[in-house]
A and B are shown apart, each in its own frame.
Chain A
């Protein structure tokens, strides 16, 4: 059997506050079964009880005052620290209450704002992860005038093709050609006005030649007859109007497809 050490007994005798219940119960159990330790512990307690508490000589009520009188002269005076503006402001209970309220309001506002940001991020995040839809490229601005111009050039090209292959012996085509020429002439003039601002010399030249040709076809004296059609065919071939129109139209279509590759080649 392990006997208790003197240190354990001293600790127990003084009832150390840090002692756990388990330690104390183990100590008591051992004393109950070990007469040697029981005697030793009793002797220790008796010894400690015999050591008197040293009684300090009594000091009268003026003792404290005498101590103070003895040291007071040697003590420097503390210089009060200058009060900061906020310390002065907070010295009033009313101001302190206001300050607390302001700080609380600010904290609540910040928390609310942070919460909203957090919610927004949470809402956006799954969409970005689950469905990584590529961002739709921004649609390039497609000038309406290009579409109209292409349409006009298309009609003009067809008109020129019909004029080139017109049957000089038949008069059936004369009237529809003239009507088409008149219609195209109006559209051509509008296009010319618009394209003058674009500083595209090829287009301007082509529209000028087309204007001359369409004007003669629309306003041919006595209407379109085989002679006038033949003359127009010669002028058309001489100026290469059909070729010019095709080139310009092709270039416009190419530019349009270059600006918008996903849309295909033609407008």
Chain B
């Protein structure tokens, strides 16, 4: 564990609240990056980062001094980002279900995917990829982000999501399969 992190935690537990500020400054960028990759938008990512540091502060007494604070707060941030995605999904489903438009009544799930032609024409490949990511479940999306973009091992993903490593591995498999299916038109077109 980083000596500075350890010293800051000891100071916080001894009553020096401001010492936590140093930890926040040191780890904010990393947490924002992963939170953004999971949530897909800045506002949710910033909320997730703040929520992670708040939860971390409240649980600081239970933090084991031998552990790495960076890893610990990273996992909390993943949880917070995951919660954001799940809440957003629920609110989107409810919003679609409450619509008065009879045409929308027939569609019960939100679908952010745009047509491949339009995406290809506008050159928004990354937007399509983002849409493919959005089609994944919150767990699959998080597992994929951690595996594909954060280079985390299956064990680390399992720990971050609070699930068994095998379940994490299966989540990655499902995510890759879905992503490939969603991006298949893009491949054919190119």
Q: Is the CB of B53 within 8 A of A18?
A: no
Q: Interface residues of B toward A: which range?
A: 35 or more
Per-position 1/0 for B153-190, Cβ under 8 A of A: 11100000000000001001100110110010011000
Cβ contacts B31-61/A at 8 Å (1 or 0 each): 0110011001010011001100110010011
Contact among A18, A44, A51, A74 for B148, CB-based, below 8 A: A51
For residue B93, CB closer than 8 A to chain A, the reply is no
The proximity string for B residues 94-136 relative to A, scoring 1 for CB distances below 8 Å and 0 otherwise, is: 0000000000000000000000000000000110011001000
Whether A79 pairs with B15 at a CB distance below 8 angstroms is: yes
Residues of B within 8 A of A85 (CB): none
A75, B54: Cβ atoms closer than 8 Å = yes
| A77-B17 in contact (CB<8A) | yes
Q: Does the CB pair A10–B172 fall under 8 Å?
A: yes
Residues of A within 8 A of B15 (CB): 77-80
Q: Which residues of A contact B129 (CB under 8 A)?
A: 51-52
Contact with B along A1-33 (1 / 0, CB 8 A): 000001100110010111000000000000000
How far apart sit A14 and B53, CA to CA, in the bound complex (Å)?
A: 31
Which of B145, B153, B187 contacts A17 (CB under 8 A)?
B153
A interface: dominant SS: loop
Q: Kindly state whether residue A161 has any CB partner on chain B within 8 Å.
A: no
The reply to whether the CB of A176 lies closer than 8 angstroms to some CB of chain B is no
Which residues of chain B are near A54, meaning CB under 8 Å?
36-37, 40, 130, 133, 145, 149
Q: Which of A16, A65, A75 makes the CB contact (< 8 A) with B17?
A: A75
Count residues on chain A whose CB falls below 8 Å from chain B CBs: 35
Distance, CA A78 to CA B58, complexed state (A): 9
Nearest chain A CB to B79's CB is how many angstroms away? 17
A67 CA to B147 CA, complexed, in Å: 27
| Across-interface contacts of B13 in A (CB, < 8 A) | 78, 80-81
State how many angstroms separate the Cβ of A87 from the closest Cβ of chain B. 12
A56 CA to B176 CA, complexed, in Å: 21
Which residues of chain B have C-beta atoms less than 8 A from A80's C-beta?
13-15
In the complex the two chains form, what is the Cα distance from A14 to B171 in whole Å? Answer: 14
A68 at the interface (CB under 8 A from B): yes
> Contacts A7-B173, A47-B187, A74-B54; is A18 near B24 (CB within 8 Å)?
no
Asked whether A165 is an interface residue with its Cβ less than 8 Å from the other chain, the reply is no
Given the contacts A11-B169, A67-B50, A75-B17, A47 and B32 also touching, CB distance less than 8 Å: no
Residue of A nearest to B15 (CB): A80
Contacts of B176 in A (CB 8 A): 10, 44, 48
CA distance A111 to B169 in the complex (A): 51
Q: Known: A16-B154, A18-B155, A78-B14. Contact between A71 and B54, CB under 8 A?
A: yes
Contacts of A74 in B (CB 8 A): 54
Q: Can you list 22 A-B contacts (CB < 8 A)?
A: A10-B172, A14-B147, A14-B148, A17-B153, A44-B176, A47-B187, A50-B186, A50-B187, A52-B125, A52-B129, A54-B36, A54-B130, A54-B133, A59-B32, A63-B28, A64-B24, A71-B53, A71-B54, A71-B57, A72-B18, A74-B54, A80-B15
Contacts A17-B153, A54-B40 given; 20 further ones with Cβ under 8 A?
A6-B173, A6-B177, A10-B176, A47-B180, A47-B187, A50-B186, A51-B183, A67-B24, A67-B50, A67-B53, A71-B50, A71-B53, A71-B54, A74-B54, A75-B17, A75-B20, A75-B57, A78-B14, A78-B60, A80-B13
